[in-house]
A and B are shown apart, each in its own frame.
Chain A
Amino acid sequence: MSDQVTLKIDGISVSVKRGTTVLDAAKTINIRIPTLCHHEDLCVAGNCRVCVVEQTGTDRLIPACAMPAADGMEIHSNSLKVRNARKQIVELLVSEHRAECTTCYKNGNCELQALSHEYIIGENGYINLIPLKEYTIDYYSPSIIKDDSKCIRCQRCVRTCDELQGVGALTVSHKGSEMKISTFMDKPIYQVVCTNCGQCVNRCPTGALVERHYIDEVWAAIYNEKKFVVVQTAPAVRVALAEALGHEPGEIVTGKMVAALRRLGFDAVLDTDFTADLTIIEEGHELLQRLKRALKDKDPDVKLPMTTSCSPGWVKFLEHIFPEFMENLSTAKSPQQMFGALAKTFYASKIGVEPASMVSVSIMPCTAKKYEANRPEMYASGYQDVDYVLTTRELALMIKQAGIDFNSLADDDYDSIMGESSGAGVIFGATGGVMEAALRTVYEVVTGREVPFDGLNITPVRGVEGVREASILINKTLPEWSFLEGVELKTCVAHGLNNARNVMKAVRDGSASYHFIEIMACPGGCLGGGGQPIPTSSDIRKRRSSAIYQEDSQKVIRKSHENPEIVQIYKEFLIEPLGHTSHKLLHTKYTARERY
């Protein structure tokens, strides 16, 4: 049997690999078949039927997303029968959808709205069932709003939560006309296992799942003359913001972004990359301390492997599913929260501003960061350390609201102090980045030499595979680290919580042993975060990733410990890694949570 099958779509002959769906075969010859429940990151579902096509010799219409292409097929993607069926399907979906588009947050960015337009759904469709339905809107989470009245039950969110994240916070409950997307016992999202990662928000075709936005609160702070508003920008925002403003994926717009933030009226534009570097110093020393306790002091209570703690989705996932590993999480706060704690202490006193009158805003590729900023532990400065978290999408909307022509902006630089960063801070935005950044510093602390990789590029930890392992042999150590002589430092990198779950299971049953594990909740790391521009796909994530490594390679300083502002802040304020001030401001603790 040949590997290839040949079929005809709209009269055009096409050969594809056996097993390819009709939908994907059509894509190869640039025929777009509309979809709603289909998503390239997820398994085939065939729920919405919008992709139906006609096959010569078959009466029934077939779903292109679920039908494998076969030899000799004659497919019509745009026949009258197909058009009529699709129009009716969209009309039926709209009849159960609270189509109040002008007041919807997803207005202009909604796949159902686009299809309604394409198929000219008039007012004479099916009767509007929304007034007859009971639905709930869950506004209670600081991260995500779930509005069942806008849900078309395509189940992309359920598949995302299950397949990519292995969380299963969302499910399909009840049946027939009462069927809906639910959490456990229909509890509000903030009460269940949901990690707030926002991957469902990234994939929802309508406004049923959206981020909770804080745009109005941030404008109010900017216009309040009594407030000094500082803003920080996460590493992955600069390589994706342009997409939300109409550019191709993978464009680096750091300078324009800084200029735009200044135009919006922020009083200081600073960089989360700075505290990413700081995270490396603290977390790297924590790893070395744990290794010392384990290998030199033979302390039986020391917990290894140590896992990273930058990803708030991962942290909450572990608190729910693997509470027995809570002490394995690095106590170092995420860069966002380190920044928040320092902004209202060190930075405030440096520039002579009362912390009470400072408003701290962060721009994140992430919806879980909104939740993280609201965690009760995050008041190290005596105030809420980070007041408002905006996603990349919200920042793009603010730039549009302000009437700024983004393209015409001249590049601008971050303010100082807390604006300088190394390449190591930049790569936090990609999976494997924290590991690479940590190794660049830790190896040098222990041996006094640079990591033995060409151009400091630790390529074994880079890539797109869900789980990657790498080990690095430590030799010729400096005298005080002699207990690490000949030790093979075993590391593991995982992204997507389903992969994280598998890694932690392997650690639990002893089938894998590591010293240090980096886990990012989202596919691709932060660059594929739940707050990034929609849509997302593996190709888009790859392009953002190349942009991040390009930004790293262009940096003069590539290692966190060589960032001059990091050197300065230890000299003036923190004194030493893991010191008293660090413990007060930069480290945190965790809480075991329910399994649902």
Chain B
Amino acid sequence: MTRIQYSVTDMANKHGRSREALLPILQDIYQAKHVISDEDMVNVARELDISAAHVYGTATFYSFLETQQSGKYIIRLCKTITCMMHGKNPVLQELERILKIKPGQTTPDGLFTLKETNCLGQCHKGPAMLVNDNPHTQLTPESVREIIDSYRREALSY
């Protein structure tokens, strides 16, 4: 796996040092590492001359930013009512069974993090989930097995 090199200073140079630059900088860090570490947050706070706690507050507010190390693939299964009525619960149970983790946890091999999320806007094709940026819709317990397998194969091929 190639790690993208980055420095918080470069990002601040790119996005500026005003309060508005905070979110784009955090997004860049997350893109690069799939996590925003303690150290990164302190560095961002120093660059923008704001409190580290506020950086943490912003990072924890957004669902698409993570302060805990997540897997290579982050699965976000829609938990809202339409997907629920389309059969989200059996899909979730199947995911839990094959990954052997609960929502909020990461598989020991570091490949998958399972999360539940709010509406993905795919209500007409529920149940729906995102794996990183890829949407998967009209899920069934069978289809999620295949989807997970395909990501496992993709990870092996690196």
**A interface with B by C-beta (< 8 Å):** 162, 167-175, 182-185, 192-193, 594-596
In the assembled complex, B53 has its CB within 8 A of some CB on chain A: yes
| Cα of A470 to Cα of B51 in the assembled complex, Å | 31
User: Which residues does chain A contribute within 8 Å of B41, judged by CB atoms?
Assistant: 184-185, 596
**Given known A-B contacts A193-B51, A193-B52, A596-B52, A171 and B57 have beta carbons under 8 A apart:** yes
Contact pick for A172, options B38, B42, B57, B67, CB 8 Å? B57
Closest to B62 in A: A175
What are some 27 contacts across the A-B interface (CB < 8 A)?
A168-B50, A168-B51, A168-B54, A169-B53, A171-B51, A171-B54, A171-B56, A172-B57, A173-B56, A174-B61, A175-B61, A182-B57, A182-B60, A183-B53, A184-B38, A184-B41, A184-B52, A184-B55, A185-B41, A185-B56, A185-B67, A192-B53, A595-B42, A595-B45, A595-B46, A595-B52, A596-B38
Query: Quick one: closest B residue to A194, CB to CB?
Result: B53
Does more than half of chain A's interface fall in helix, strand or loop, or is it mixed?
A: loop
Count the A-B residue pairs with Cβ separation under 8 angstroms: how many? 58
Chain A residues within 8 Å of B46, by CB: 595
Please give, as numbers and ranges, the residues of chain B lying within 8 Å of A167 by CB-CB distance: 51
Contact A171 to B53, CB < 8 A, known contacts A185-B38, A185-B67: yes
Of all chain A residues, the one with the shortest Cβ separation from B43 is: A595
Chain B residues in the interface with A (C-beta under 8 A): 38, 41-42, 45-46, 50-57, 60-61, 67
What's the Cα separation between A193 and B56 when bound, in Å? Answer: 14
How many angstroms between the C-alpha atoms of A319 and B38 in the bound complex?
20
Q: How far is the CB of B49 from chain A (nearest CB, A)?
A: 9
Given A175-B61, A596-B45, A596-B52, 20 additional A-B pairs, CB 8 A: A167-B51, A168-B50, A168-B51, A168-B53, A171-B51, A171-B53, A171-B54, A171-B56, A172-B61, A173-B57, A175-B60, A182-B57, A183-B53, A184-B42, A184-B52, A185-B56, A185-B67, A193-B52, A193-B53, A596-B41
The answer to whether A184 touches B56, judged by C-beta atoms less than 8 angstroms apart, is yes
Find out whether the CB atom of B61 lies under 8 angstroms from the CB atom of A169.
Answer: no
Chain A residues lying within 8 Å of B50, measured Cβ to Cβ, are: 168
In Å, the complex CA distance between A182 and B61 comes to 12
Q: Which residue of A is nearest B54, CB measured?
A: A171
- Nearest chain-A residue to B63 (Cβ)? A175
- Contact partners of B55 in chain A: CB under 8 A: 184
Look across to chain B and name the residue whose beta carbon is closest to the beta carbon of A192.
B53
How far, in angstroms, from A182 to B41 measured CA to CA in the complex?
15
**In the complex, what residues of B have CB within 8 A of residue A596's CB?**
38, 41-42, 45, 51-53
Partner of A173, one of B42, B45, B51, B61: B61
Q: Which residues of A contact B54 (CB under 8 A)?
A: 168, 171
A596, B41: Cα distance in complex, Å: 9
Q: Top 6 nearest A-B pairs by Cβ distance? A: A168-B51, A596-B52, A171-B57, A171-B53, A184-B53, A173-B60
- CB of A485 to closest CB in B, whole Å: 41
Chain B nearest CB from A30 CB (Å) reads 39
A170 to B54, CA, bound (A): 8
Whole-angstrom distance between the Cβ of A488 and the nearest chain B Cβ: 32
| Residues of A close to B51: CB separation below 8 A | 162, 167-169, 171, 184, 193, 596
| Contact for B53 among A174, A182, A594, CB less than 8 A | A182
Complex CA distance for A527 and B52, rounded to whole angstroms: 30
Q: How far is the CB of B54 from the nearest CB of chain A, in Å?
A: 5
- Chain B residues closer than 8 Å to A174, beta-carbon distance: 60-61
Please give, as numbers and ranges, the residues of chain B lying within 8 Å of A594 by CB-CB distance.
42
Chain A residues whose CB sits within 8 angstroms of the CB of B61 once the complex forms: 172-175
Q: Which residues of A contact B60 (CB under 8 A)?
A: 173-175, 182
Closest partner residue, chain A, to B37 (CB atom) = A185
Question: In the bound complex, how far is the Cα of B60 from the Cα of A595, in angstroms?
Answer: 19
Smallest CB gap from B61: residue in A: A175
> How many Å from the CB of A171 to the closest CB on chain B?
4
Q: How far is the CA of A392 from the CA of B38 in the complex (A)?
A: 38
User: What's the Cα separation between A596 and B67 when bound, in Å?
Assistant: 15
Q: How far is the CB of B142 from chain A (nearest CB, A)?
A: 33
